[in-house]
Structure 1
Amino acid sequence: MEDLKIKVEDLLHQNKSDFEVSKLLKKEIKTYFGTLEESFRENNGKNFLVKHTKKIDTILQMSYRVAMRAMFGTYMPMKSTLPITLVALGSYGREQLCVYSDIDLMIVYKEVPGYNTQEMIEKILYILWDAGLKLGHRVHEVDELFEVSKTDITIKTSFIESRFIEGSKQLWNQTQNELHRIRKDNQETFIAAKIEEMKTLHEKYPMTMEPNLKEGVGGFRNANLVYWIGNILYNANSIADLEGNIISKNEYEEFREALYFLFKVRSALHLATGKKEDKLRLELIPEVAKYLGYDDKKKHMKFSRKVISHLKTIKLYSTIWVNALSSYGTTEVMLQPQETNTYHGLLKQLSCAKPENFPVHPTFLKALTCCYREDEVEKNIYGTIYKIFEQPQSHLVLNTLIDARLLGYTIPYMKKAINLPQFDGYHQYAVGIHTVKCIEALENIKDDLIRKLYDNLSLEEQVFLKTVVLIHDAGKGRRKDHHEVGTVLFKGFSEKLGYNHEFVQVGKNLILYHTLMSITAQREDLHSEQVILKFSSHFPTQKELNLIYILTYADMNGVGKDIYNNFSASLIYELYTQSSLAIKNVSLLKETAKRIKKEKQLQRSISFNLLPRSLQKKTLSINSDMFFIKNTPQEIINIVKIAQTLKEHYYSIKNEKFLTLEIYRKDNLDLSFLLQKLSHLNIVHMDIHKLFSNIKYFRIDFAETIEEGDYIQLNELMIEALTEIHKLKIAKPKILAKDILINCEHSQEHSLLKINCLNQKGLLSYIINLFDSLGVDISSAKIHTKQNRINDLFLIEKNGNFCNNTHLIIKELTENE
């Protein structure tokens, strides 16, 4: 900086033009702004704003000196006698000027005959403009300041932030006298207007995952409000000047730490975007965090959590201090602390408060933060917590605890997740805020059906559901899946609340699958019976289904605005109504539950996770439950790997303890022909499963083996069955009508055929041939032979060819009766 002064003096000594000096200043400014990023990194942003402000001060001071020399030459008057003063306003006045913030300058003058003040002011401005400095400026005669301040509250606000930069100290003293008048004028109206202004900004910019650091909740406007009120009432030049009667030392130190950190974040945000930016958008977090030394994904989480935490600190203390400075905005109905110095006592007071007592009085927040607390919450506090949830608007109490930064202390099961960011592109709020918004949605349901379901719950069940909602995201921030961790946390919390075993189990299940309803409704085919059954198997009773429906509503409404809308609501309602029908089919639900258990084993398998994602998805979409139930995870993997590479057909022959045929085909397999040719062998088991891509898988187990010499003939037979279609004459078996069970209402997608009769050669071949002639498509089959009787089960796709021909099928199967 001294080097710049020398260069300017040298140019002035050479009588260089104003433009030449402006070129030098412009070059200096450009160089300076080019080094800001490096300077910020070197010092980790420490004292960055003050240093930046002082640099701009110096440039303005040099410009003033250049203008003086240009106007007066070697006959320059003393600065104090020239009635012009440069004054910093706004964040520049508060010495909190960020990189690309507006440089607000006011030039105050006194019209004195003999001085060309207007020409001097123009000269200063032209030099600054030629130097490329982007200014927001205003020019006022000192005597008009008071009247100008009354025209607009924003102007008055900027005036009270005035700071001397350069010029006449004598005129600055007169300016200060006017500023004193401005501060004392209509103070109550000013304070009321600024408090209302902040409320409006908070409604516009809530504390989301993408906070507005300047005008949002807990942002710089909160801190500024304390300063503005302190300035006009006590002539305080900074918040630190209020320390003592209004602000305690410990409070201020914590507040200052939070504020300075947010200043550094804002500076990094400006540097990262190369412009004035106050919204910490998600996509900017990695780069902004890196400026402050948070250089990996794990540290990005820590950084974002720290931002939210410090915003809450600013909000808390500014709320308390504004009330200590002015009583505007508080009412007698707001909950105030009684004569108690214990945290539990204050919590009991909250548990009995009425909705109209909220938000609580700032003195109550101060009492919560200042009262004596043990390191860990008292064990007997859980009775009070239960009582809080009995209140119809318990979210008001939880909001108070969030504002006091005590939710994690009060409910330790939440502690590790409080303020945790959720970088999923879905959630708009950090954990804690999101949680309370979910409970608020639960207690103020707008959907008529869900409202009715909730109202039909007993008070005990409503409290239970609120605690499920409270803990549903508490497992986040761990290495393990947060759904699973949440079940462990809920078990511990529910035991402290005295829940019975049934509540604990249902609650754990709701938390484990709390996202399943919204995901299924919005991503899956709701016309697929398999989708409905899979979902319903997790909530097998109407009570549990009702609870997950209500929980899903609360969770989605707590995510953010318009997440739960008419479209998503209709999808979730459809899933709910279809599932209500599905849970009545107990046998299907049990079968689906077994399948899901096997799917989970499969998904934990290393071999399965090594498969391509597309093949994993195809595998899990296979409709046949029996395919999953009957095969081990490794067998399933082996089968789908062969199917994935299948061109037309594939078969294998195993002939160890008994003969087993495995067949994969895309188009043709004349199964009735194959079975007829092998009718001399006893079939003990046969499975048929539709896989994917029009591939069917067959496994046929026989009671005996074949001779080694029969291998060639069997291979030829397999090829013929896979490549040709034959017209067969097969002897009709003897089946009684009572041996046949047909259910065309087995499920939405499948009809069922059961045959339980004496084992006969050619029986399966005859049935398959009959189905082929009618165009009946077997989706899945289970064939079992024991003690000379067969027990065959066929699941048949509902294409009309089976149920429209049931009388014919029965006749063809039983006409020998």
Structure 2
Amino acid sequence: MQDALSTRLQTLISDSRRRLGDGTRALRAAYEAHPRTSVVLEGRAKLVDIEVVGIWQACQMPAEAALIAVGGYGRGELFPASDVDLLVLLPRAADAGVCERLSAMVGALWDIGLEIGHAVRTVDECIQAAEDDITVQTNLLEARFLAGDAERFAELEQRYYAALDVREFYKAKQLEQEQRYARFNDSPYSLEPDCKDSPGGLRDLQMLGWIARAAGLGRNWRDLARRRLITGGEASELRSVERFLQHLRIRLHYLAGRAEDRVLFDHQEKLARIMGIDATANRRASEVLMQRYYINAKMVTQLNTVLLQNYGTVIFPDRGAAIVINPRFQVVRELLDLRHEDVFERYPSALLECFLLLQQRSELKGMTARTLRALWINRNRINAAFRADPAHRALFLQILQQKRGIVHAFRRMNEYGILSRYLPAWRRIIGQMQHDLFHVYTVDQHILTVLRNVRRFTMGEHAHEYPLMTRLILAFERHWLLYVAALFHDIAKGRGGDHSRLGMVDARDFCVLHSLDEDDTALVVWLVEQHLTMSHFAQKEDTSDPEVVQRFAAIMGSERRLIALYLLTHADIRGTSPKVWNGWKGKLLEDLFFAAQRLLRGATPQQALGMDDRLEDARRLLRFHGLRPGVEERLWSELDAVYFMRHSAEEIAWHTRLLYFRPDAGEPVVKARVAEDEHGVQVMVFTPDQKELFVRLTGFFGRLGFTILDAKVHTTRHGHALDSFMLQDPGGEASYRDVITLIEHELAAYLARPDALDRPSRGRMSRQVKHFPITPQVSIRADEAGRHYILSLTAADRPGLLFDIAETLAGHGIRLHTAKIATLGERVEDTFLLTGAALAQDAQLLRVERELLERLQV
């Protein structure tokens, strides 16, 4: 039998593979000529039906067996590279002969080019599997008969629906969606979303269809509209966003040549071109495409919320007694509900009041479906006249000033289209991507994340995270002004020009229209203008220089402004990406804050930098570790004021404990320790100065795969190098305690060989940088005191980058004193303090800049 079956199948497989290939190419050509989703989705399902049934018949399966399509294939929708899910329904467990035929059938289906997922079960086994696994239960919901015993399939359907508990199914699918959302951080705004599984993707729409089918509410959007679960307009919107997502997924499969559902940077520009989307003056075509995607995803999440609540009302009909709040609103089952359908028409202020009530009444978990629908339908009532009403402006300020629920209120207002109506400037940043490769959120989501970060500073349950921030904000009068600054700090992104300056205008208009007094208006406008200033000084300037700190303090002008900017800057950097913030950046900001604060309180520059206090603190730490008074003097006499200004008391004490007994060490001394926040390792190198030492050190650390976050290079009066480094494993995989001994032993041995030079690999360009290249920028300028030169550069990050910079500088006899390394996702913004004769000559300076640019090219 096996030989006869094999012979029949061989001829069939060859013909079937050819027909399937021809049919697939014809479908693609038809779709590209006239893009309609049904051409591909229904066309491929019908094409596959013919070949699957043909092979089933050729295998002469038992007459009492049935072949069933399940999942998306059962629904009659097959994307270009989707799996074909099959259920073989048997009357009893398969014997050896049936197993042989099943194996031949599945093998043949793979041979003709189909990705097959299959299960072989009896009806009893199907019912049990559905009871145990919600995925199986969902797949069977869309089962479609293909061939074999139709009565057996009818028995399965009858028993399946008899056993189906609609309430449990509804709860399970809701929980499944919550778990799926959690995998994607509850956001549809990922820069590389999964158009199938991300929040706002096709899976959200499919889930709505599954519940409707299980509850007998309908099989398409029109059915739901006829049952008044959604309006006719909402049914049209659902079909429109569904078509957009289907087109996107179809294009993705064709473009990638496989089942790819992630809208990766690799594909975005090509997808935009294929879908007929053009670039604008300020934005790439891919950015226009992705903004369109986010708007559609947002619509999906809105309608998903409305429909799920409507389903719940039908499936759980016990409505409960309504509790009246006021003439406009009531509470129904812990949800805010309209007392009358025309509330928003009669009382337009209710469009804002509903969010205020959600903040004020902790028992409310959200809004009823009819409230959400009415809110969405009436959002356009928020127009110029609405915004000009003093009562409405007062309501908006009340939302900002509440004790709870501020972030939730603004997220909801953004999701339901209220915020973009009330703040017209907000409309332009909804779903706007930021291709700087360190923001992982769209502009509107970044702003709301910054608002959340500022808000968390005020909450006692989060005080342990950043206690200094909590102490500062709780003592800050009218701290809600920081929420206003957060809302406007990036609102002008994407307009072209300096978004800080452009955003000032919007912020000032808002403050004036909402009757903020002059001082509060000035603070908010100043914060929007200066919101990048503190991060610039902390990460790019030599903040151990008294003149730099004086310049920063002069910009601050007052302690109130300094505190406000410190809080906003901290929240802003943390709101760009989880990868961008680290304890080291926090320490840079904190040191600058305290130095400027002391200056503003009347301290001298030396007092502001805490020189005297630092030395006393270092001595106290030495005594604590058992060192007798005076042992530090011999080493300290070889160190100048610059060293003491650039190192903390704790670092000075650590260096002293390691070196006080060997200040003239002839051999390299290398010591390392885990950083205070456990997210890096500090390394101290003390050695007789040698040629190109910094180049050699960067080469060594680069070979080990570490990123240098900070470097302080110092030469003692007696010709020794005392260099400090903060290192981090960019992959986050290193156990820092395990590498300390390795660094100490290998680096000391390496430095003892003057001719040794590690050249780290340049590494490969990251996928993101490949598609969104960063043009290197180099600037070398004299500092204001005229003693040093400041090198600022921006480039794509890669292994060996710092080594290339150090080697170029050394080749021109340029000495490096400090390095501040700011790695922002895939981009680095580094600042170096330099001296060297070549920098004073224009021709030489240009040559250095040109060579650096050449080395920075990826």
Q: TM-score range by the shorter chain?
A: 0.5 to 0.7
Amino acid at match of 2:354: Q
Matches within 5 A, 1:170-189: 170-182=151-163, 185-189=164-168
Contact 1:556 1:563 in 2 (8 A): yes
Distance 1:284 1:23 in 2: 34
Q: 1:478 to 1:345 in 2, by over 3 A?
A: same
- 1:336 equivalent to 2:345? Answer no
Give the fraction of aligned pairs with identical amino acids, expressed as a percent: 20
Aligned to 1:17: 8
How much has 1:553 moved relative to structure 2?
2.0
Distance 1:564 1:622 in 2: 30
Amino acid at match of 2:355: L
Q: 1:358 to 1:276 in 2, by over 3 A?
A: farther
Distance 2:10 2:557 in 1: 83
Aligned to 2:529: 512
Q: 1:168 to 1:524 in 2, by over 3 A?
A: farther
Distance 2:517 2:266 in 1: 45
Deviations 1:314-363 (A, max 9, x none): 11111111111115999833433344234421412322433635641243
Contact 2:788 2:834 in 1 (8 A): no
Aligned to 1:54: 43
Aligned to 2:34: 43
SS at match of 1:559: coil
Q: Of 474, 484, 488, which aligns to 2:491?
A: 474
Equivalenced residues, count: 589
How much has 1:197 moved relative to structure 2?
1.4
How much has 1:191 moved relative to structure 2?
1.3
- 1:229 equivalent to 2:211? Answer yes
- 1:154 equivalent to 2:135? Answer yes
Distance 1:691 1:82 in 2: 86
Distance 1:489 1:354 in 2: 29
Amino acid at match of 2:403: P
How much has 1:398 moved relative to structure 2?
0.7
SS at match of 1:83: coil
How much has 1:468 moved relative to structure 2?
0.9
Q: 1:28 to 1:193 in 2, by over 3 A?
A: same
Aligned to 1:281: 264
Aligned to 1:293: 276
- 1:365 equivalent to 2:372? Answer yes
Aligned to 2:181: 202
Amino acid at match of 1:389: L
Q: 1:243 to 1:482 in 2, by over 3 A?
A: same
Deviations 1:719-744 (A, max 9, x none): xxxxxxxxxxxxxxxxxxxxxxxxxx
Give the structure-1-normalised TM-score. 0.65
Contact 1:465 1:547 in 2 (8 A): yes
Matches within 5 A, 1:435-474: 435-445=447-457, 446-458=465-477, 461-474=478-491
Contact 2:59 2:101 in 1 (8 A): no
Give the structure-2-normalised TM-score. 0.62
Distance 2:519 2:272 in 1: 46
Matches within 5 A, 1:534-613: 534-561=551-578, 563-583=580-600
How much has 1:223 moved relative to structure 2?
1.4
Amino acid at match of 2:429: A
Aligned to 2:443: 431
Aligned to 1:591: none
Amino acid at match of 2:418: L
Distance 1:495 1:573 in 2: 33
- Greater shift, 406-415 or 322-331, is seen at 322-331
Q: Of 613, 623, 626, which aligns to 2:785?
A: 623
Aligned to 1:126: 107
Distance 1:583 1:95 in 2: 71
How much has 1:114 moved relative to structure 2?
14
Aligned to 1:325: 311
Contact 1:438 1:557 in 2 (8 A): yes
Aligned to 2:805: none
Deviations 1:351-407 (A, max 9, x none): 243363564124332231134742615022211111111113311211111221221
Q: 1:530 to 1:254 in 2, by over 3 A?
A: farther
Matches within 5 A, 1:19-34: 19-30=10-21
Q: Of 239, 248, 252, which aligns to 2:235?
A: 252
Amino acid at match of 1:398: F
Distance 1:28 1:520 in 2: 67
Contact 2:83 2:114 in 1 (8 A): no
Unaligned runs of 5+ residues in structure 1 are: 1-14, 73-80, 589-612, 629-647, 649-665, 667-689, 699-817
Deviations 1:113-133 (A, max 9, x none): 999866654553333133131
CA RMSD, 1 decimal: 3.8
Contact 1:84 1:168 in 2 (8 A): yes
Aligned to 1:815: none
Q: 1:433 to 1:42 in 2, by over 3 A?
A: same
Distance 2:604 2:112 in 1: 83
- 1:138 equivalent to 2:119? Answer yes
- 1:383 equivalent to 2:394? Answer yes
SS at match of 1:104: strand
Contact 1:472 1:486 in 2 (8 A): yes
Contact 2:82 2:115 in 1 (8 A): no
Q: Of 353, 363, 374, which aligns to 1:348?
A: 353
Distance 1:495 1:524 in 2: 35
Q: 1:284 to 1:197 in 2, by over 3 A?
A: same
How much has 1:19 moved relative to structure 2?
0.8
Q: 1:369 to 1:691 in 2, by over 3 A?
A: closer
How much has 1:494 moved relative to structure 2?
1.1
